[in-house]
Amino acid sequence: MALLKIARMGNPVLNVVAEPVEDPTAPEVRQLVADMLETMDDANGTGLAAPQVHVSKRIVVFFVDGGRDAREGGEGDGVPLTIMINPEIETLSEEMETGIEGCLSIPSMMGDVPRYTHIRYWAYGLDGKRFEREASGFHARVVQHECDHLDGILYPHRIEDMKSFGFNDELMRTFQAEDEE
Ligand code: NI
């Protein structure tokens, strides 16, 4: 196990379309996923995509804790730690919702990003088996954010109101001031 270096916005590895994984059960895939999980945990991230650790492969990991899910308007069930290899997304409704996102590749910043509210997704696990899930709300947001990394897309590319993009502490101060009004 090893902590991996996280690429930050501006690094070309974040801007390219990642390659599919040929064999999800390969030992080197298992090793990479173990290191990604350790790196995500250490960085307190919700998700991590392989290009963020300088590996241009279609692998993402994510986890949504129940409390966070509830705060973000979800059912509060959270999502168990999920490993997705060669994931695919289908949108189940045209409906979109704007919500705050951050990213380990863009430290200390956040912004308002529109995402589809209902999706279905497929991926392979480390056992080589394909699984399918439906997701809505924050769960759907996380999956769309992480899978975007595999296509060289970072969340600022999707922001519609660039005034919503800024440093966490400045924006939090602004939200608090608005709440007090
Ligand atoms: Ni990200």
Q: pLDDT by residue (tens digit) across 6-40?
A: 999 999 999 999 999 999 999 999 999 999 999 99
pLDDT given at position 181: 74
Mean residue pLDDT across the chain: 95
- Domain range 12-180, CATH class: alpha beta
Is residue 134 within a helix (H) or strand (E), and if so which, with residue range? Answer: strand 130-136
Tell me, in angstroms, the distance from the centre of ligand 1 to residue 146's CA.
6
In the chain, domain spans: 12-180
Tell me, in angstroms, the distance from the centre of ligand 1 to residue 181's CA.
32
Q: Report the alpha-carbon distance of residue 57 to residue 156 in Å, rounded.
A: 22
Q: Report the alpha-carbon distance of residue 68 to residue 83 in Å, rounded.
A: 19
pLDDT category at 53 given cuts 50, 70, 90 is very high
Q: Report the alpha-carbon distance of residue 6 to residue 96 in Å, rounded.
A: 29
Q: Report the alpha-carbon distance of residue 51 to residue 151 in Å, rounded.
A: 10
- pTM of the predicted model as reported, rounded to 2 decimal places: 0.94
Q: Report the alpha-carbon distance of residue 23 to residue 43 in Å, rounded.
A: 28
Q: pLDDT by residue (tens digit) across 115-134?
A: 999 999 999 999 999 999 99
Under DSSP, the state recorded for 19 is B
Tell me, in angstroms, the distance from the centre of ligand 1 to residue 5's CA.
14
Q: Report the alpha-carbon distance of residue 138 to residue 159 in Å, rounded.
A: 17
Tell me, in angstroms, the distance from the centre of ligand 1 to residue 180's CA.
31
pLDDT category at 88 given cuts 50, 70, 90 is very high
Catalytic residue ranges: 146
